Amino acid sequence: MHCLPCILWIIVEFFVGLQCQTFPEKVQKCHYGDGKCLAESANALIRNYPKGIPEINLKPFDVVSVKDWLLVNDSQVGGAWYYFLLYNQINLGFENTTITEIKGFDRDPTKSKIEIRGKIPRLVYKGKYQAKGRMLWFVDINSQGDSNSDFLNFRFDLTLKVRTEYRNNKRYLKIYELVPNIRLDRWIQWMDDFFPDNFDMTIAINNLFNRNWVEFWNELEPSILRLFETVFLGMIEDLSYNIPYDDLFLADAESV
């Protein structure tokens, strides 16, 4: 019984420690709204901690899980319709991101637009797909297999809308809208077993896709952007939830 106060003190210290998690020493803090410093700090975080920081629930950058996604779901009528499901997905390459510009993140983050721009030399997608459909009235599709994509010179602009909420007398950032804009130089796609009984046809359909990737991108872009919205949001919302907003920045009297 004599150890009970000690045990209670250890428990209190543990929970206080959880509430006070901050960025590690390798990542410098910045003043509110200092876009240049914020971009440098973000790049240092990505370079030094590609495996994430579990203590503050910062997820890994090198392997990013992607939720299952119904990319196309046409009405199953007529001579041409398509159903395409992506699942068991990951993205590889976010650890090579360079943040090129950050705007916003002022003392009151709700008063100005928050924008984040960056680029990745090569973003790789790996996962599985399930496809059903009908092409040109006479070709039925019913296939599943591994799917791989390379997005070359992947550039992104993120626009965030946020509000603040108070917990434990501290401000936390709540992201309620994230709108991505994506540009790339090339999209290379490969789907195994698209025609399970005809490997030559599988090669032909993959070659057709890769020769005409711009047209496919334009057609699928709205759904792809919604998917990347979930990817980017999943990467940053835990951090904003777990670390008080004001703890991310220097006090006015402090220097960088």
Six token digits for residue 47:
């370079």
**pLDDT, position 199:** 93
What are the tokens at 7? 């045990």
- Whether 52 is covered by a domain: the verdict is no
pLDDT score recorded for residue 115: 97
Q: Look at residue 41 and tell me if it is in a domain.
A: no
Beta bridge partners of 156: 118, 182
Query: What does the block give as tokens for 185?
Result: 């130089």
Q: What is the pLDDT of residue 26?
A: 63
The count of domains in the chain is: 1
Length of the chain: 256
* Cβ neighbours of residue 209 closer than 8 Å, sequence gap 6 or more: 189, 216
Amino acid 3: pLDDT = 47
pLDDT given at position 243: 87
Angstrom distance (rounded) from CA 239 to CA 155: 22
Q: 60-77: string of b/e by CB count within 10 Å (b at 16+)?
A: bbbbbebeebebbeeeee
Residue 178, domain extent: 63-92+107-248
Q: What is the pLDDT of residue 181?
A: 97
Return the amino acid letter for 250: L
Q: Which residues pair with 150 in a beta bridge?
A: 124, 188
**Alpha-carbon separation of residue 221 from 63, 72, 141, 167, 178 (angstroms):** 23, 11, 22, 38, 16
Give me 180's structure tokens.
């991505």
pLDDT value, residue 136 = 61
Residue 45 domain flag = no
Q: What is the pLDDT along the chain (256 residues), one digit of tens a residue?
A: 444 444 443 433 333 333 444 556 667 889 999 999 999 999 998 999 999 888 777 888 899 999 999 999 887 766 678 899 999 999 999 999 999 999 999 999 999 899 999 999 999 999 999 999 877 656 788 999 999 999 999 999 999 999 999 998 999 999 999 999 999 999 999 999 999 989 999 999 999 999 999 999 999 999 999 999 999 999 888 888 888 999 889 887 665 5
- Note whether residue 241 is domain-resident: yes
Indicate which CATH number applies to the domain containing 171: 3.15.10.30
User: Which of the 8 DSSP states describes residue 107?
Assistant: S
Task: Determine the pLDDT at residue 24.
Answer: 62
Beta carbons within 10 angstroms of residue 189's beta carbon? 15
| Cβ(85)–Cβ(75) below 8 Å | no
In a domain, 48, yes or no: no
Asked if the structure places residue 155 within a domain, the reply is: yes
Structure tokens at 234: 């999943």
Please tell me the distance from the alpha carbon of residue 204 to that of residue 167, in angstroms, as a whole number: 57
Could you tell me if residue 185 is inside a domain? yes
Residue 27 lies in a domain: no
Rounded CA separation 91/81 (Å): 28
C-alpha pair distances (Å), 84 with each of 205, 220, 239: 15, 11, 32
Q: How far, in Å, CA of 23 to CA of 29, rounded?
A: 8
